[in-house]
Structure 1
Amino acid sequence: MAKTNTLNGYICANGWEEALCQELVATKAGEHFYSPAPGLVIGESSSGGLRYEPVFASQWFPSCMEVEGESIADLIQALGNALDPILDQNPLPWTMHCFTPDLYTEDSTYYEFLSGRSALLHEKFMQRMAKYRRRALEKYVDWSAIDEKRPCLLIQAVLVDTGYLWVSAAKRLKTESGRFVPFMRSNSPGAVAHDPQAPCRSYYKLEEAWQVAGIYPRKGEVCVDLGAAPGGWTWAALKRGARVVAVDFADLKPHVENHPHCEHSLENGYAFMPARTVDWMFCDMIVKPLATLGLLDRWLEQKACRKFVVNVKFRGKQPESILTAIEELRQKHQIPHLIVKHLYYDRNEITLIGSL
């Protein structure tokens, strides 16, 4: 049966639950956070805390409840008992998204044993609604068709075992960075379109970073890609009509090297500094985290770029000192717009997306 206490939660990539819990407590977004299942973190955050944008959260899961049932029929009945009072009073269009937490983890197989059960849960719940809650069903809009720009009630059902799920029912709210959460389908993981010409996997990191920030290079803008080889980030910018200085001693893929808007500079990416301010600086080099932040610090001191996307790589999964150093850098340069996220395509790294 559904428990009566209401909590707030977050979805994160598998393996990053402890880092997310520590971050939420350290930033005073709430307290008593714990992980009931891989990829899911639950705690007692305030409504104000929900407006904080955690680095390690991939999705918001507000006003959530635990639901259990021995069979799928029991689970549907318990889910209905939890949601009926909410849907009966709801004046807005509503939609429902059923999934397992590893939807937000690339290449995860942890929840393979639940493959197909999320879709079955959604199907059976909608059948129950059609039979017993037709009036509430009139406001339902399919997840793939709902207008993301209009107010709605978003129901998320996260299945973590055959007879155990967490459900969230909440209106969307605006975070401190101005983004609306919980995210809808356009921000779903893996939403970056496949490109058979992408030189490497890192191409998808930059595309996701732009998608998250909602800003992209424009035609004719000048970008510098530090440590560019084999050309994943350079290729992403070239596709959008930008002109790119790709800085690396190593080779670029031929279709990147030969692009008319690509200038391959055979120099040390860590030491490179443009003669005049450029529109974008990109950096995905494998160097120590404080060295990467030192590089960004120099670029900001020189006012060498207007926008940047920088990946800070680290070992282990407890990057508290790195987060502190990033915040110090933000304060030092008074960066007005900075998003710091562990993205879907990130591994042991954090992505910084900034504009000055």
Structure 2
Amino acid sequence: MHAFLPAVDCAPFLAAELERSGAKAQADEATGFVFADTLPALPYLAFARQSLPESTEVKDASINGWADQIITRIAGVLPDAQPWRLHLWTAYGEGRAGLHRCSLIRAALNERLKKRRRALLRSLEDGTAPFTQETSLVQAVLTGPDAGYISVSSAPQTLALRAILSPFIGGNIPHAEDKAAPSRAFAKVIEAELRLGQQIERGQTCVDLGASPGSWSYVAIQRGARVTAIDRSPLRDDLMRNPRLDFIQADAFKFRPEQPVDWLICDIIAAPQRSIDLLLEWLRERQMRRFIVTLKFKGTDEYALMDQLKELAPPLCQDFRLNRLCANKNEVTAFGIAAGI
């Protein structure tokens, strides 16, 4: 059994997405998770915030019992002397009781590892850096005071599933805050960068399609990148005056750079099929090295359009992601690294 934590209010859409991939899926209102009998053949799930592959249900009221359950699952399973991470989190309630319980389980687990499995304790690491070929991920999620699930993803499976398996606990990234940005849309760029493990850097080149009022260009300029912003309307005055910004008043869908750029960033308001086609054209024409592109929806009828992107984009990419970001509204963001540029 595989468990998936859906993005907020997206359980039915995640279940439908899994069904389209060939899995038998069911949303569980009691836990908030969606369960499926198989992983998707194409490892992309736009509406999954976090995945728990090969999850096992645990019912134990004891702190020590949970610690023992985790050790039983990982002993002899995790590759020797290779790094692993533990995501121990709660998916029930809104108070601190669940968090406190997780802290107690972690403390009990550490004590047991010190006594029985020192090698495992030495290779346990913290952090949210992108997974490597050697990283394993152990997840223990409490869905109630005495119930939950344990999932173990051993290397190199963790890296292979990086598009649906997040290095962030529960797949959650708090919204970035910057009152100086033209709008809150800038948070989508920050979150996509964090999930990808790469960010816009000083000296790089960016094309921002549909740039006005300028929140995505703002992020790139703050980082020291040079931005070509394309829109029918100008950006905020201070951005228009910035020497690292070149503004071109034009149709964003028709623009192409003279040579490949480091980043294509696009938060344009358009029908999702147009944005999908735009991204695929840029990838096929090898116009950018990395990309962040928002797909904006009206209602829910067009969600299945993303299936073509799951099939056609990955062969053109070194790394491809498709996620309903924490900062998205009725949107999904495609981001990644293009192949061979």
Of all paired residues, the percent bearing the same amino acid is: 24
Q: Would you say 1:339 and 2:294 are equivalent positions?
A: no
The answer to which of 245-254 and 87-96 deviates more is 87-96
What is the SS of the residue equivalent to 1:45? coil
Aligned match of 2:271 in 271, 280, 288? 288
Q: Would you say 1:314 and 2:297 are equivalent positions?
A: yes
Paired amino acid for 2:89: F
Q: 2:331 maps to what in 1? A: 349
Structure-2 change in CA distance of 1:239 and 1:314 (3 Å): same
Give the distance between the partners of 1:50 and 1:302, measured in 2 at CA. Answer: 27
TM-score between the two structures when normalised by the length of structure 2: 0.77
Structure-2 change in CA distance of 1:124 and 1:194 (3 Å): same
Give the distance between the partners of 1:339 and 1:330, measured in 2 at CA. Answer: 10
Give the distance between the partners of 1:171 and 1:213, measured in 2 at CA. Answer: 20
Verify the 8 A CA contact 2:88 2:106 in the aligned structure 1.
no
Verify the 8 A CA contact 2:90 2:99 in the aligned structure 1.
no
Verify the 8 A CA contact 2:204 2:225 in the aligned structure 1.
yes
What is the SS of the residue equivalent to 1:140? helix
Give the distance between the partners of 2:183 and 2:48, measured in 1 at CA. Answer: 25
Q: 1:62 maps to what in 2? A: 53
Structure-2 change in CA distance of 1:256 and 1:11 (3 Å): same
Give the distance between the partners of 1:181 and 1:239, measured in 2 at CA. Answer: 30
Q: 2:187 maps to what in 1? A: 204
Aligned match of 1:269 in 240, 252, 256? 252
Paired amino acid for 1:83: I
Verify the 8 A CA contact 2:56 2:151 in the aligned structure 1.
yes
Q: 1:98 maps to what in 2? A: 88
Shift of 1:51: 7.7
What is the SS of the residue equivalent to 2:72? helix
Q: How many residues align?
A: 330
What is the SS of the residue equivalent to 2:298? coil
Structure 2, unmatched stretches of 5+, are: none
Verify the 8 A CA contact 2:67 2:106 in the aligned structure 1.
no
What is the SS of the residue equivalent to 2:224? coil
Q: Would you say 1:31 and 2:24 are equivalent positions?
A: yes
1:266-301 CA deviation, whole Å, 9 max, x = no partner?
A: 33434x414623413322122221232344455567
Structure-2 change in CA distance of 1:283 and 1:84 (3 Å): closer
Paired amino acid for 2:70: L
Structure-2 change in CA distance of 1:238 and 1:8 (3 Å): same
Verify the 8 A CA contact 1:51 1:176 in the aligned structure 2.
no
What is the SS of the residue equivalent to 1:63? coil
